Amino acid sequence: MAEKHKKIALSHIAEMFAENKSGIRNIWFSGGVSANFDFVPENILAWTSRESSKVTGTFIHQRMALALVLSGKCVMNIDGVRIPMNPGEMVCILPFQFHTIRLDCPPEEYQTLWITFTEKKGDYSSFFSLKNRLLKPDRSDFACIAEIVQGTLKTETPAEKTVLALLKLLLNFRRKKQSLPESSEPRTLFDRMCDYIRNNFEKEISVKTLADEFSVSTETVRRHFRNADTGLTPHELLILLRHQLAIELLEQTDLSIAEIAAKCGWSDPFSFSRAFKKRDHLSPLQHRKKFR
């Protein structure tokens, strides 16, 4: 895709929001799509956001989200995976993935388009292949994005048209499966510690575990996490990863609570249920019942 066309597309999307005076419209799927898709989005929202500080807090959403950088540069940290992003690049954040943004530009230069939505059946498994990947929209993708934005801002746009544009965009990304680019920068100790936790979170991992694994002091481990983009301690990262997997297993499988507890690294179902309720304000069984 030509750089000139990409800049025009990004500018056009930003102008659509600047011209809109009526606020954000909620697009609910209302029938009319007859094709047999394995994924039907609904409750579509689109908006732009700016950051007032260089590093945001850590967020988890219960909706699927697409984040497109309109201007400026940033590093998106999703589940501990660092993804450098330039204007015109996009990431897909699935429900319950945690993310943080660190700006690589002055805050006034940064602007992001967010498109968020739910799935009609609550099944997001079709797009697990897009987790933690950098997406580079082409000309056709930008046309879809413009249609989605228009649909969320203009009341006269049929909801079905917006749904179909989002479906086309998601299916294009799923087909291309664009991977994270290889970085020429060496992976930092923090990156490697996050990888270790992400690959072993079913085990008991402490600051001392990481210190022994990477032959450093416990204070070095704490310092790297203090200075990192996530704002998380090793224990908080461990719990977030366990909680995210537990939610996926509760919603997407029929495994028992004991089986899920074991897969997520809890010593027994009682400890798992107590920790889950502390974060979700519902027991695992209540969450599964509510979801289904």
Give the pLDDT of residue 160: 83
Beta-strand pair 74-78/81-85:
antiparallel
CATH class for the region spanning 189-291: mainly alpha
The angle at the Cα of 20, spanning 162 to 10, to the nearest 5 degrees, equals: 70
Fold entry, domain 3-176:
Jelly Rolls (2.60.120)
* Nearest partner of 116 among 160, 73, 57, 170, judged by Cα: 170
Give the pLDDT of residue 131: 83
Q: Is 115 left (phi over 0), alpha (psi -120 to 50) or beta?
A: beta
Give the pLDDT of residue 30: 43
Asked if 29 and 165 touch (Cβ cutoff 8 Å), the reply is no
Per residue in 48-95, pLDDT tens? Answer: 988 777 777 777 776 899 999 999 999 998 877 889 999 999 999 987
* Nearest partner of 240 among 276, 211, 215, judged by Cα: 276
List every span in the chain annotated with CATH 2.60.120.10: 3-176
Q: Which residues pair with 84 in a beta bridge?
A: 75
**H-run or E-run covering 209:** helix 207-214
Give the pLDDT of residue 36: 56
For residue 155, give both structure tokens. 């009341």
Give the pLDDT of residue 241: 84
Give the pLDDT of residue 23: 55
List every span in the chain annotated with CATH 1.10.10.60: 189-291
User: Using CA atoms, how far apart are residues 230 and 60, in angstroms rounded to an integer?
Assistant: 12
Q: What is the CA radius of gyration of the chain?
A: 20
Give the pLDDT of residue 34: 47
Residues of the chain with pLDDT under 50: 30-35, 180, 182-184
pTM above 0.85, yes or no: no
With tokens 């099944």, the residue in question is: 123
